[in-house]
Amino acid sequence: MKKVILHDPKNRVNLVFSTDWHLTEVPPARRKDDYRSAILAKIEYIRDLVEKLGGAGLCGGDVFHHKQPRHAGNSFRLLIDLINVLRRFPQGKVYGAIGNHDLTYDRMDSLSHQPLGLLAELGVYHDLNRESVMFTNEDETVKVSVETFPYLPDGKALGAILSAGPRLPGVGHRIGIVHAYGHPGGAGSLFGEPTIGYDQLQNVDFDFLLWGHDHSREETVQVGNVTHIRLGSLARAALAYDEVERPVAATLLSFKPDGNVAYKEQEIPVKPLEIAFQMADKGVERVGKSDDIKAFFEGMDEQVAGLDTTDTREIIKQLCGDDPKLMTLIMELCEL
Spell out the residues 6+ positions from residue 29 whose beta carbon is closer than 8 angstroms to its own: 237, 238, 239, 240, 242
Spell out the residues 6+ positions from residue 321 whose beta carbon is closer than 8 angstroms to its own: none
Q: What is the pLDDT of residues 314-332, one digit of tens each?
A: 677 667 766 666 666 676 5
Strand partners, 208: 175, 227
Strand partners, 56: 15
Mean pLDDT of 149-158: 87
CB atoms within 10 A of CB 27: 19
Q: Which of 190 and 169 is assigned the larger pLDDT?
A: 169
Mean pLDDT of 79-93: 97
Determine the pLDDT at residue 281: 46
Lowest mean pLDDT among 25-34, 68-77, 216-225: 25-34
Q: For every residue of the chain, which 3-state class applies, written as one string?
A: CEEEECCCCCCCEEEEEECCCCECCCCCCCECCCHHHHHHHHHHHHHHHHHHHCCEEEECCCCECCCCCCCCCCCHHHHHHHHHHHHCCHHHCEEECCCHHHCECCEHHHHHHCHHHHHHHHCCEEECCCCCEEEECCCCCCEEEEEEECCCCCCHHHHHHHCCCCCCCCCCEEEEEEEECEECCCCEEECCEEEEEHHHHCCCCCCEEEEEECCCCEEEEEECCEEEEECCCCCCCCCCCCCCCCCCEEEEEEECCCCCEEEEEEECCCCCHHHHECHHHHHHCCHHHCHHHHHHHHHHHHHHHCCCCCCHHHHHHHHHCCCHHHHHHHHHHCCC
Mean pLDDT of 157-182: 95
Q: What is the pLDDT of residues 239-288, one digit of tens each?
A: 776 777 889 999 999 999 999 999 999 999 887 776 666 655 444 444 44
Q: Check whether 289 has a pLDDT greater than 70.
A: no
Res. 293 pLDDT band, cuts 50 70 90: low
Q: Check whether 95 has a pLDDT greater than 60.
A: yes
Q: Which of 10 and 245 is assigned the larger pLDDT?
A: 10
Q: Check whether 69 has a pLDDT greater than 70.
A: yes
Determine the pLDDT at residue 272: 74
Determine the pLDDT at residue 285: 44
Lowest mean pLDDT among 167-171, 267-271, 294-298: 294-298
Does the structural domain 2-273 have CATH classification 3.60.21.10? yes
- Most confident listed range (144-148, 192-196, 329-333): 144-148
106 contacts 100 by C-beta, under 8 angstroms: yes
Determine the pLDDT at residue 326: 67
Q: Which of 195 and 296 is assigned the larger pLDDT?
A: 195
Domain with CATH 3.60.21.10 in the chain: 2-273
Determine the pLDDT at residue 76: 94
